[in-house]
Amino acid sequence: MFWKIFSVILASTVKTLFAPAMGFAVNLSFGTTFVATMVGGIIGFIFFYYSFGLGFNFINKKKSPPTEKRIKRARNIINFKKRYPVWLFVLVSPIMSIPVMAIVIRRFFNHNRGIFALSLVAVTIFALVGCLIFSPIL
């Protein structure tokens, strides 16, 4: 039983929306699958968020002075951030994957502390949605 739950937790660290299918395939209950998926998604997001943060700090120490290309890219990022609201990105990004979500939030929205909590809520919502989609119909 432990290994079944552990495998669902491990799968949900990367793909929270589709991990419940594995839980239901190994005959876990709805509640157990939801909790395992939620815990795995939260652990995966926190792990990738902080590990990529360390990587970005290392890269930023080795940067050279700004060039025209980097300035243009920075302007494009600012325009993107002005055009689309942050909560829209946070609620859509778990569909892609947890590591991609963590990289983008850490890189571009690190200054906003509420985004971290909103991301954890989004992971929990997608764990519930995945469990509702893949729950067996009895």
With beta carbons less than 8 A apart as the criterion, state whether 38 and 123 touch.
yes
**Number of domains into which the chain is organized:** 1
State how far the Cα of 50 lies from the Cα of 117, in Å rounded to an integer. Answer: 14
The pLDDT tens digits of the residues spanning 107-133 come to 777 777 788 888 888 899 989 988 998
Half-sphere exposure in the Cβ direction for 33 (13 Å, CA): 26
In this prediction the pTM is 0.80
- Summarised one tens digit per residue, pLDDT across range 50-95 is 888 776 666 666 666 667 777 777 787 778 777 877 777 777 777 7
What are the pLDDT digits (tens) for 68-80? 777 777 787 778 7
User: What would the two tokens of residue 103 be?
Assistant: 């990289």
d(Cα 31, Cα 61) in Å, to the nearest integer?
A: 45
Q: What is the residue range of 113's domain?
A: 2-134
Cα-Cα-Cα-Cα torsion 43, 48, 53, 55, nearest 10 degrees, comes to 140
